[in-house]
Amino acid sequence: MTPECSATTVRLVTVELGWQLGLALVLLVGLGTGVALWGRLPTAKSIPWVALRSGAQLLAVSLIVGVALSEVWLALIFVSVMFTIGVFTTSRRTGLRTWRSRGAAGLAMLAGALPVLAIIFLTGTAPLNGPALVPIASIIIGAMMTTQTLVGRRGFAELRGNLPEYAAYLSLGLERTYAVHAIVSHSLHEAVIPALDQTRTAGLVTLPGAYVGVLLGGGSPLQAAAAQVLVLVGINCGHTCTAVTARWLMARGWLLPPDLRERLRP
């Protein structure tokens, strides 16, 4: 693809600020809310609020990102803040209320994100600068947050629903770590299925975000494909590391909500 073609592509697909954008957003929010009300969905009132909140958040983040991209150390601070918010988000969604359990959730996320980012940047695949670090790290961290949430919600549900099985393991003289590990393992793989499906269907069902982002930045389709494959493979690797680490931490009683910490005493 020539530079002229790339520039033309960017001009054609880039969303411009203007009254057209405002009109499109109003129509989309109105249509979604109207259909939700007609269908008596409980999410009807949330649609306008979520739209306003996302717009305000993205506007604020855009102002901050412009500064974070200028220096590596600023980018690292920005990524650290994103990671911290991700830890608190997954903790809230999974009912983790103590600092110990939240720290365990952060450790599980870190076990997935850190090796992936280290491989990407230390091999020189991507340059260690703000414009590369912020988008790649944000994608990886967001994926690890989702994995931790899925593992936690499903794993905690399995433990709550199989307390007699847990007691049976202990009655046989087995340790808590083995019992929790055995119960949680039944559903552990479900946390990585969405990423695997996305990787399998990349380019067939949808064009993932990294691919589109490189195209919007003026890159060629081959460059976009390379970036997307790197991200997808990295996410799959990170998902596995986060899920296995989360199970290990659950088995040792660190990554558990208060009710399960009381019920799953050795």
What is the torsional sign of CA 213, 217, 220, 226?
A: negative
- Mean pLDDT along residues 72-99: 93
Q: Does the CA dihedral 181-186-187-190 come out positive or negative?
A: positive
Among 258, 254, 224, residue whose Cα is nearest residue 108: 254
Q: Which one-letter DSSP state was computed for residue 201?
A: T
Whether 206 shows a pLDDT value over 90: the answer reads: no
| Amino acid code (one letter) for 34 | G
Residues 6+ apart with CB under 8 A from 234: 116, 119, 120, 140
- State pLDDT tens for residues 10-65: 344 466 778 888 899 899 999 999 999 998 888 888 889 999 988 888 888 778 87
Give pTM, 2 decimals: 0.79
CA angle 212, 218, 219 (to 5 degrees): 70
User: What is the number of other CB atoms lying within 10 angstroms of the CB of residue 132?
Assistant: 18
Confidence of residue 82 (pLDDT cuts 50, 70, 90): very high
Model pLDDT for residues 136-177, shown as the tens digit of each residue: 999 999 999 999 999 999 999 999 999 899 889 888 888 888
Any bridge partners for residue 202, and if so which? 206
| Range name among 80-84, 191-195, 252-256 with the lowest pLDDT average | 191-195
* pLDDT attached to residue 2: 41
Q: Is residue 73 scored above 80 in pLDDT? A: yes
User: C-alpha angle 219/83/144, rounded to 5°?
Assistant: 75
What pLDDT was estimated at residue 35?
Answer: 93
